[in-house]
Every structure is written in C-alpha cells, then in structure tokens.
Structure 1
Amino acid sequence: MCSVNTDSLQEMIPITTEIFPGTSATCRKCGGTPVEVVLRKTDPYCRACFLTYVTHKFRSCIGKHKLVPVGAEVLVCTSGGLASSALLHLVHEGVTLTSLKKLRVQPAFLHVDERCASAFSRQGENAEQSSSSSFAGDAEYACRAVVQLGYPCYYTTLEAILSPVPIAPLLYKRGSSVEVLHQQSTSAVLQRHLQQLLTDCSSSTARESVVRVLLQRSLAVSCSRLGYTRLFAGHSATQVAVTILSDVAEGRGAHTAQHVNFRHVDSDSGVEVFRPLREVLEDELLHYLTINDIPYTRQKHTVRQPLWSIPCLLL
C-alpha cells in the first residue's frame, strides 16, 4: 500500500497567478510596461509585442504551409464582423509592407448578404424590417471599409445561389448603394425559395447547417464566377472549435477535416479555400481591433436563436 504520510502533505502553491491589466506586471516578451493585453489570464503583453504576436500567427499560418504562391490573386470574404474586419486589416498591413516580410498576394473582397435568412428568424413585420435594415447597414459598412482601402469589393446575396440562372456578384464602387445592388442580386421568388427551405428544416440546428452550407457554396461559386481560384475565409480558432464540436454532435465527424483544415478544395468548383486565422482566438482578434481602433459590426449570425444549438451555446 502507499506509505505517504498524509499529515506531512502541504498545499501546492500555483506557479502562475492571474494578472490584471493596469497592475505592475511587465510584458512577458520584452519586459517593458505598460501592459495593455492579458491573454489566458496569465500572459501579459505590451501593445507592440501583442500586435507582433497576432501578426506572426497570421503570417506564419500562411507561410509555413507554402500553399499560397507569390503574386496569387485571392478573393477574401468580408462580412464586417469581428474576424473579417481583423482579416481585412491584417491583409492590408501585409500587402502594404515594403520589407521582405510583405504579403505577396493580390486581394479582392466579397460580401454575401444574409438578410433574407435573418428575416426568417424574426417575428413580426417590424422585427423583419429592423433586421433587414440592420443587415443593410452591416453590408454597407463592410463594402465601404474595403473600398476605402483601395481594393475591389464584390456583393452578392445568399439566395442568389438558388437561382437556376447564374447571378454573378456585382462590383461595389465608391458612391454605390447596397440597396440597389441587393435588388439586382435577388428576387421575391428566390427569397421565398430560401425561406421555404428553412421552414422545411425540423430544428434550429438543421437550419443553421443549411445556412452554413449555402454560404460555403455561395462563396465558392462566386469565387469561381469572378475568375478566382483561391479564397481566404475568416475562420478563427474559436470558430474552428465550434465547428468541430457541432459536427461531431451532429454525427458528421467524417467531414470535419475539410471544415477546419488550413486548406481544402471545393469539390464542385475546384476553388481552394484557405483559413489564415485558424490559429488566432476570437479574444485575440477582439484585442487586436480594440488596440488599432478598428470598428466592426456585431451582427454575427442569421437564423440562430439563444440556446437552440451547440454553436449558440459556445459563442
């Protein structure tokens, strides 16, 4: 039997203690102060070291795989949300560098308007109009933010993928109106088709899956129609974790790899989808946007209701 004398046991002292911003803690990287960001409650960083840390995660994820050739034309997803706003800024910073660490790609951006799917989850005419107005504002912000940096931005709607006649994404220019582009990219028939598709789903989780699949198809097909073969998606490490748990819970674990890997090839269009933010947590992205004073929209999902699905419990 074990001969340990329980009378002589002592309480173990934790090696690390929780650190709070504003205390006398020093940056774990350079040893300087003041500390502006504390990650995992125990890792303090100053402003410069934290920005270097996040940028390195983004750049190393692309560089170490060596799958994006120099000078490649890539289409980048943008929704105006947390991850896509950070991705826009990181791509812009990388492309505009003059050093050897310059990100050597030629980016263009694509926004998919999901207001029709969002309206399905609202109750009442006023709520539907409010949701539509909110998504219109988010789309306007997302497209304008891209154009102000000098990159081409394309616009399409989620229901456009259901059209029997191909609807190519439209170019958003300075002075353009999202409402005008929306009318040209959708129709009442397509909107009814999408809402009927969501109505036929037996649960919120099923509707969430349908919207996710339609969004993936819309991005890949739009990328192909615009003549691009590579797509950057703004999936953070937190979103990757959510996808893994939800796929396993739904019995689709065999397909998880293509949803979370750095790269996967769309089987129908042949488009290569990359996830350069898959190693960056949403908490880190939030600190990154806050430090750089970059606004973002907080409209995150479309048909999700509180406590109805696994992704909703985790986000």
Structure 2
Amino acid sequence: MCSIGEDDFGDEGAAHAMVVEALPLGIVLSPGNCSKCDVNSGELYKLNFRAAECRECFLTYARHKFRAALGAAKILPRNAEVLLVLDGSAKSLVLLDMLHFAQTQNQFKRLHCNARVVYVEEQQVQDRDPVDLEALLSLSVQYAPFDFYVIELGQGCSLQRIKDYSPSLKANNELIHKLQKLQSLTARQDYLQQQRKNLICSVAQSLQCTHVFEPNISVDLATQLLTAIALGRGASAALDVALLDDRLSGDVKLLRPLKDLSEQEIQFYIHAQRLKPLFQSGSHYGMERGPTASLQNLTSAFVANLQHNYASTVSTVFRTGDKIAVNSDPEQATCVHCQSALDSELSDTLLAIEYSRSVSEAGVSLYKNGQDLESLAKKRLEMQDGLCHACRAIQAELESGNLL
C-alpha cells in the first residue's frame, strides 16, 4: 500500500502570505543539485518536510499524492464518468492540471476515466466581476479534450458549453432572494454551501457523471470539520472531510483527491506549471465582512492562525475527521436539504436543547411538570419536516417561506 503523505505535517509554508508576483516561500532560484535525482537545477523547491528538489521531482511527488489518494482506496471504477468542479482558484487549477496529466500518460500509467469540467459562475451571488471568458476558453483549449461547461449559481437550468456561453441577463436570482431572507451570515453561508453542492449534483446527473472531483485541500478540510461541529453537523462531519462523500442524490459520489496536499504544495505547483488562477483563494461569500461576522469566518481565521503558527496541528485536525465513525445504516432517514442522516434519534444533546427551549417558553406560569416538558421536547424533535438539526436552524432564521 502506498504510504505517501502519512507523515505530511508541513501544511503551512506561509504561502498564504505571498503577494502578487512574489515567489512562494521555499522556492530557491539559485542553482543547486536536486536531492532526489542529483541533477543540477536552476530552480529548487524546498518543502518544509522534504529536502530541496528540482521541478520535475517535485511535480512527480505532488502528482503521486493525487494518484495515491484515488488508488489506495480503489474508489474510482475504470472508465468512470467524472465531473471536475472548477472555481477559478489555484487549487482547482492544480486539480485540473493533475487530472489532465494523468489522462495523457501511456496506457499503463493512464488514469482511465472520462472527465468533464464545469465552472460555477457565482458573479451575481458573490457580487464580483464576472469571470474572464477568454481565460476560460483558453483553459478549454489547453486542457482538451475535456468538455467545459458553465452554470450560473441561482439561475436554475443554465448549463451551457463554454463555447456557447453567454452571461444571463436575468436580474431575478432566486438564491439571492432566499439569502436575503436569512437573518445571519452564518445561516446564509451554510445554506449557500448546501445549495452549491446540490447544484453540482444536478449537473453531474444531467451530464451522466457518477463521480465529482472537488478541489479541497487539507486546510479546507480542517476548517470544514471544525465548522461542521460548530454548526451542529457533527453527525455527518466525517463525510464532510472524507475522501469519499456518498450523500449526494442519484448515487453520485463526491471525491476529494487533493485532500493530502498542503497550501504550500499548491502554490509550488502553480509556480512550477506557470498556471494563472482566475480568482484568489478565500474569495468566498461573506469573507470580506471580517473574521467575526460568522461562525464560518471565525473558524477559517482560527485555522489560518494555526496554519501560520502551528502547522502540524492543522494536519492533526483534518486527519481526526477520518477517524470519526459514520452511521452506515442504509435505512436511516436523511435530511431533504443536505442529505445527511437525520439526527433526532442520534443524540441526547438535541433532546436537551429542545427541553431547555420548552422550559424557556413555558416560563413560571405554565402548569407543566418535568415529564410534560420532556414529552413536548420529544414531539418537537419528531416534527422536523425531514430536516436535520443544522438545517432546522437555517429554517428558523428564514423570515418567510420554506428552506426548499
């Protein structure tokens, strides 16, 4: 079994602090001998946990992590139909480049799958400039024969081939209206994440893809694990950070083949391949409002601080998610919004929360004993309308209407 990356504790590399046109910290331009192949190179790459190596040896190492993640688990069938999610960030371009490289190898080393690429346009939701269409078209030419598609978040059935794509002129974006009805940024970010996942699933089904590649790296998964627990999604937190997430409808499986790569390795790969990200990492909805604006922002800032000061802790947090047991009962009912297992019967904590809410609402004037209040709390858990605890919290923040 391939063991590469098991002692990968160098997650930070201070790459998040690099400025435009600056070299990622750890790339040495002075000539030297590669520690791996002993060939003299004019550009050496020095990861925190490895000796300096040349460009070719570094690319081989990084690409092997991608192949090892898929090969060790044997979760990608031969000739599978794969949908790659492109968001314009550095990590999504790395995933695209790695998959294309794996597809262009000889018959023995080739990754046998059929890939399509979808770019999710979030311009209206994110309130930012639209994507550079020329840059997207250039990517579609560079990474032929992959088919490139574009879909606009919140615009329903707007899937188009990149060569036929024209931005929607519709000002009526249903998703924006729903986000505006949510009271807190925490609820809006959580709702947007679930809607984006459901949109990608619908695209995969329409393109007849059985697997989806998502470009999440180790620091993203560490943040996602802590965020899921903070939002009350602890019962499904393991699937939020696992290599394989099988909660999507239509038997579509979500894979995270870059989960063992660090931010430093992503920045090195971008430099080595001269790739140009369309957007800077971290340009997510609501991030510009500061670290205290939501639970997600606060958790992201906390993990970023860990990455800067205690790099190995980020790896420890992320790998803890792999050790959390997942409820695998096939008959377990699932949430109609996020497809996670319904947690009303999984934890006494939720019963305690509803009991406290019942006591708070009853006050001192209500003639109810403890058994009555406990019975009321149990009924509230049963009357959940097919939603898990975290999605019910989003529903509770809606000023009007239903979550779905």
Q: TM-score, normalised by structure 2?
A: 0.61
Write out aligned runs for 1:259-298 (5 A): 259-298=240-279
Match of 1:135 in 2: 130
1:198 to 156, 161, 179: 179
For residues 20 and 140 of structure 1, what CA distance do their matches in structure 2 show? Answer: 30
1:96 to 104, 111, 124: 104
2:91 is aligned with 1:83: yes
For residues 158 and 26 of structure 2, what CA distance do their matches in structure 1 show? Answer: 51
The answer to whether the 8 Å contact 2:80/2:210 transfers is no
2:46 is aligned with 1:46: no
Write out aligned runs for 1:21-32 (5 A): 21=28, 27-32=34-39
1:188 to 165, 168, 171: 171
Question: What letter corresponds to residue 199 of structure 1 in structure 2?
Answer: Q
By how many angstroms is 1:195 displaced? 2.1
Unaligned segments of structure 2, at least 5 residues = 1-24, 305-404
For residues 214 and 60 of structure 1, what CA distance do their matches in structure 2 show? Answer: 30
2:160 is aligned with 1:170: yes
Q: How many residues align?
A: 270
Match of 2:139 in 1: 145
The answer to whether the 8 Å contact 2:131/2:278 transfers is no
Question: What letter corresponds to residue 209 of structure 2 in structure 1?
Answer: Y
By how many angstroms is 1:204 displaced? 2.4
Q: Deviations over 1:260-312 (max 9, x none)?
A: 11112234332111111111112201110101111112243233223231354
For residues 98 and 267 of structure 1, what CA distance do their matches in structure 2 show? Answer: 33
For residues 236 and 20 of structure 1, what CA distance do their matches in structure 2 show? Answer: 20
Match of 1:154 in 2: 149
For residues 213 and 85 of structure 2, what CA distance do their matches in structure 1 show? Answer: 6
2:115 is aligned with 1:111: no
1:65 to 57, 67, 73: 73
Computed over aligned residues only, the root mean square deviation of the Cα atoms, in angstroms, reads: 2.5
For residues 203 and 115 of structure 1, what CA distance do their matches in structure 2 show? Answer: 21
SS at match of 1:135: coil
Q: Closer, same or farther in 2 for the Cα pair 1:26/1:70, shift >3 Å?
A: same
Q: Closer, same or farther in 2 for the Cα pair 1:266/1:169, shift >3 Å?
A: farther
1:304 to 258, 264, 287: 287
